[in-house]
Amino acid sequence: MVEFFINGQPVQADDDQTVMQAARANGFYIPYFCWHPHLSVHGNCRICVVEVEADGGGWVDIACNMPVSKGMRVLTDSDKVRQRRKDTLQFITLNHPVDCGICDKAGECTLQDYHFEYNGSPSVSRDAKVHATKHFPLSERIVLDNERCILCTRCVRFTREVSKTHALGIQQRGDHSLIRPVEDGGFENDPYSDNVIDICPVGALLSRQFLHKARVWYLKPTPSVCPGCERGCTVNIWHRKDEWKLKALDQRQNARIDRVTPLENPAVNGPWICNKARDLAQIFERARAEQAMLQGKPAELAAAIDSARALIAAARQPVALVSSWGSNEELVAFNSALGTRFTCHVKADWRPAPGERLEDDVLIKPDKNPNTAAARALFPALPADARSAFRPGTDLVLVWGEGFNFAHLPTGAKIIYLNAWLQPENGHADVFLPISVQTERSGHYTNFQGTVSAFEACFAKKPGVADAEALFAALGATR
């Protein structure tokens, strides 16, 4: 450890820390664009300058690349530092379009924040701004606005150091410099590409999904867990704030997922997620099943529950296929209400989609279900040949969740089916019970390493559907 001084206060730091790291660890604020705690140091934006006091006058230098040394004295907000940051911002915005009014980053943009804090004055340049590409198609997912880019190289370093696709670089020199993808399409196929949207400190990298969809201050994040694989990355699901609900326009916009961003979690995913999590709306906004059914005909939920109870009471050899998307709470509720009544097997609700990356050494795991670990701690897995799970005499099968081929069900057995989505199998069950989805309830998943993560409800439960946890209690209460 070394002791040095920030703004006159003694600070303890590790020998190998930079002034930036030590300052942040001790609660001192230093602005930064190009520095990122999970990327290498490039030191190109110069906004992080601090003043080093020394006999004979001292100097100003960047904090992100300055090692701490014993007894050094650093000022983070002196007049000299503020003037240098003002000059730096004049330089960074020399060719910047300042089109914040139409920029998706507005409200989350550090260039806006630092400009307000340190510059606050119009450009002193009398030259016309150099224009660059406004809507360069970086990939099918991302549009690049080169005029807004401040060439911090965070996106380039991300593809070199994290996703390892080496898919982005800088072409040309000086004020003609442009971020461009490499020609072999590596960025298009980078399953982590959307992280560059988050780490871009300005509005240069734009999500096509989110482009001009909402101002970020109309939205709020709800902590959640990506169900896309057994890693269980923690995410924020962004949706419209109650106070900004639309009254006249399409009401569905008030209950939709506007975007998904990483929720930093050192124990699971660090600050990153893969693109599958960004696309959670494609999973959660599929057509929903909202109507209970008896033999394919609409029924009241209460009547369907009564029928399911009767089937369970009458069964001699019932089998249950347990969902690997059920929360820890739902699994416990199932086990305590019905776990001994049924012979239980855990099924994979989701399997890898054609062409989907199966596994890598960043985050992606091969099991595409979020809670297999917790389900398997209670029940054995469904055999590869699902038919072998049904012994002769199986007279009732409870299927919880999607992904099971009904053709594998034993002939003549009654079927109770719990599912959240509008799918053809629903009408083939003797009793169909529609259930809520993850975005409508709170709970926990346990990932493949045994780490438990919480998710919270974003939206109200659909009318006509039940929470599986309450449903299991109701079904078990009959015996």
| 32 contact choice in ligand SF4, ligand FES, none (CB below 5 to 8 Å, kind-dependent) | ligand FES
User: Pick from 22, 39, 47, 219: which binds ligand FES (CB under 6 A)?
Assistant: 47
Smallest distance from ligand SF4 to CB 189, Å: 15
Residues numbered 312 to 371 that lie near ligand SF4 (CB under 6 A) are: 363-364
Q: Is 114 in the site for ligand FES (CB under 6 A)?
A: no
User: Pick from 11, 22, 28, 32: which binds ligand FES (CB under 6 A)?
Assistant: 32
With CB under 6 A as the contact rule, which of the stretches 44-52, 286-294, 356-364, 390-398 interacts with ligand FES? 44-52
Residues numbered 155 to 174 that lie near ligand SF4 (CB under 6 A) are: 155
Query: Which of 405, 460, 404, 399 lies closest to 430 in space, CA to CA?
Result: 399
Q: Which residue, 62 or 233, is less far from ligand FES as judged by CB?
A: 62
Smallest distance from ligand SF4 to CB 215, Å: 20
User: Pick from 43, 191, 221, 464: which binds ligand FES (CB under 6 A)?
Assistant: 43
User: Pick from 6, 19, 62, 68: which binds ligand FES (CB under 6 A)?
Assistant: 62
| 441 contact choice in ligand SF4, ligand FES, none (CB below 5 to 8 Å, kind-dependent) | none
User: Pick from 11, 22, 64, 322: which binds ligand FES (CB under 6 A)?
Assistant: 64
Strands 73-75 and 2-6: parallel
| 202 contact choice in ligand FES, ligand SF4, none (CB below 5 to 8 Å, kind-dependent) | ligand SF4
User: Pick from 48, 89, 103, 289: which binds ligand FES (CB under 6 A)?
Assistant: 48
Number of residues that bind ligand SF4 (CB under 6 A): 26
How many CA atoms are closer than 13 Å to the CA of 254, on its beta-carbon side?
11
Q: Is 45 in the site for ligand FES (CB under 6 A)?
A: yes
Q: Is 46 in the site for ligand FES (CB under 6 A)?
A: yes
Report the alpha-carbon distance of residue 386 to residue 407 in Å, rounded: 10
Query: Can you read off the two tokens belonging to residue 279?
Result: 């696309």
Q: Is 202 in the site for ligand SF4 (CB under 6 A)?
A: yes
| 96 contact choice in ligand FES, ligand SF4, none (CB below 5 to 8 Å, kind-dependent) | none
| 66 contact choice in ligand SF4, ligand FES, none (CB below 5 to 8 Å, kind-dependent) | none
User: Pick from 186, 232, 339, 403: which binds ligand SF4 (CB under 6 A)?
Assistant: 232
| 205 contact choice in ligand FES, ligand SF4, none (CB below 5 to 8 Å, kind-dependent) | ligand SF4
Q: Is 269 in the site for ligand SF4 (CB under 6 A)?
A: yes
Report the alpha-carbon distance of residue 227 to residue 283 in Å, rounded: 9
Q: Is 33 in the site for ligand FES (CB under 6 A)?
A: yes
Smallest distance from ligand FES to CB 75, Å: 16
Q: Is 373 in the site for ligand SF4 (CB under 6 A)?
A: no
The answer for residues whose C-beta is within 8 angstroms of residue 264's C-beta and 6 or more apart is 234, 270, 271
Smallest distance from ligand SF4 to CB 227, Å: 7
Q: Which residue, 45 or 111, is less far from ligand FES as judged by CB?
A: 45
User: Pick from 6, 143, 150, 389: which binds ligand SF4 (CB under 6 A)?
Assistant: 150
Q: Is 34 in the site for ligand FES (CB under 6 A)?
A: yes
| 229 contact choice in ligand FES, ligand SF4, none (CB below 5 to 8 Å, kind-dependent) | ligand SF4
The answer for residues whose C-beta is within 8 angstroms of residue 368's C-beta and 6 or more apart is 228, 229, 230, 348, 350, 351, 352, 356
Query: Which of 128, 153, 47, 147 lies closest to 90 in space, CA to CA?
Result: 47
Q: Is 337 in the site for ligand FES (CB under 6 A)?
A: no
Q: Is 320 in the site for ligand FES (CB under 6 A)?
A: no
Number of residues that bind ligand FES (CB under 6 A): 12
Q: Which residue, 13 or 149, is less far from ligand SF4 as judged by CB?
A: 149
- Spell out the SS3 assignment of the chain: CEEEEECCEEEEECCCCEHHHHHHHCCCCCCCCCCCCCCCCCCCCCCCEEEEECCCCCEEEECCCCECCCCCEEECCCHHHHHHHHHHHHHHCCCCCCCHHHCCCCCCCHHHHHHHHHHCCCCCCCCCCCCCCCCEECCCCEEECCCCCCCCCHHHHHHHHCCCCCCEEEECCHHHCEEEECCCCCCCCCCCCCHHHHHCCCCCEEECCCCCCCCHHHEEEEEEECCCCCCCCEEEEEEECHHHCCCCCCHHHHHCCCEEEECCECCCCECCCCHHHHCHHHHHCCCECCCCEECCEECCHHHHHHHHHHHHHHCCCEEEEECCCCCHHHHHHHHHHHCCCCEEEECCCCCCCCCCCCCCCCCCCCCCCCCHHHHHHHCCECCCCHHHHCCCCCCEEEEECCCCCHHHCCCCCEEEEEECECCHHHHHCCEEEEECCHHHCCEEEECCCCCEEEECCCCCCCCCCECHHHHHHHHHCCC
Q: Is 204 in the site for ligand SF4 (CB under 6 A)?
A: yes
Q: Which residues bind ligand FES (CB under 6 A)?
A: 32-35, 43-48, 62, 64
Q: Which residues bind ligand SF4 (CB under 6 A)?
A: 149-155, 179, 200-202, 204-205, 226, 228-229, 231-233, 269, 273-274, 276-277, 363-364
